[in-house]
Structure 1
Amino acid sequence: MATTAQTTAVRDSSRTFQQVSIALQTLTLFFQATTAGLLLASPQNEVLHGVGARVTYGATMLYVLAAVLAWKPGGGSPRPVLYSTGFLVLSSVQVVLGIAHEPSLHVPLGVLMFGLSVLDLGRVLSGRRQDRTPTRES
């Protein structure tokens, strides 16, 4: 009985960490969109956008960590690990495109990333699980 309670507590804390990390990622992507608009208005805002890029990349790595922690010890679905790893790959491409000053690819990819992050946030916050299985209690 105690192991069931401990497993449930681990799952709940891992799920909360995952929710916070995807919310942080979505918020930082929104911040990046805002600073990109400011950058179009004035080149002095490049520093703010650059700092935001680093924070966004860190938030994406945090999401990968949260997804792995929710999957392995909590026995959750591996699907969020794939989603978070995909975000990390897209973030890496964004960094390369930003450094190369390729706004024709950088901007649409940023919009796509924000949209996907909002969808993923909705999935995580709604509590849907594709792998939900009934548990037997004695």
Structure 2
Amino acid sequence: MATQIPTTVNGLRHSLFLRAAIALQTLTILLQAVSAGLLLTSAYGDTLHDVGARVMYGATMLYVLAAVLAWKPGGGSAGPVWHASGFLALATAQVLLGIAHVPSLHVPLGVLMFGLSVLALVSHRKPTHASDPRGDHGALT
């Protein structure tokens, strides 16, 4: 039993890290939409959108790392790793479309990425207590 507790604690810790990475990614994509609006209306919007793109890409790479850490130690499903990797591919396409100045694809892809990121965030809301070794409601018995 003593060997299960650290595994569960690490699993919950990695799950929390995964949720935080997804939340950070979602927030950075939302801020990119705001900076895109500023890009159209102010002189500093271009710089803000450029820096935000780098931060968003970094947050997406952090999502991949968190998904691998949540999957590998516990031997759980590799689904989040595939989702994070697919999202990294979308982020790469988004950056390349932005550099190439193709707003007809860049903007809809950004909207799609925000929606997918929100869905990922909602699907990883809270861990279940089914794997809690302490029993019902986390109470010690």
TM more than 0.5: yes
Contact 1:14 1:69 in 2 (8 A): yes
1:86 equivalent in alignment to 2:90:
no
The residue type paired with residue 83 of structure 1 is H
The answer for unaligned runs of 5 or more in structure 2 is 136-141
Secondary structure (helix, strand or coil) at the match of 2:125 reads helix
Q: Distance in 1 between matches of 2:70 and 2:107?
A: 31
Deviations 1:2-56 (A, max 9, x none): 1111110110110010010000000000000100111122353100000000000
1:123 equivalent in alignment to 2:123:
yes
Q: Distance in 1 between matches of 2:14 and 2:76?
A: 9
Instruction: Report the alpha carbon displacement of residue 127 of structure 1 after superposing the two structures with TM.
Output: 3.7
Secondary structure (helix, strand or coil) at the match of 1:76 reads coil
The answer for unaligned runs of 5 or more in structure 1 is none
1:25 equivalent in alignment to 2:25:
yes
Deviations 1:70-116 (A, max 9, x none): 00002221100011001100000011000000000000000000000
Q: Distance in 2 between matches of 1:76 and 1:28?
A: 28
Runs of 4+ in 1 over 2 A off after TM superposition: none
Q: Using a 3 Å threshold, how does the CA distance of structure 1 residues 57 and 75 change in structure 2: closer, same or farther?
A: same
Q: In the alignment, which residue of structure 2 is the partner of 1:64?
A: 64
**Paired residues for 1:1-138 under 5 Å:** 1-127=1-127
Secondary structure (helix, strand or coil) at the match of 2:101 reads coil
TM-score, normalising length: structure 2: 0.88
Identity between Structure 1 and Structure 2 (%): 61
Q: Distance in 1 between matches of 2:93 and 2:120?
A: 19
Q: Distance in 2 between matches of 1:84 and 1:109?
A: 16
Q: In the alignment, which residue of structure 1 is the partner of 2:138?
A: none
Aligned residues, how many? 132
TM-score, normalising length: structure 1: 0.90
36-45 or 61-70, larger mean C-alpha shift: 36-45
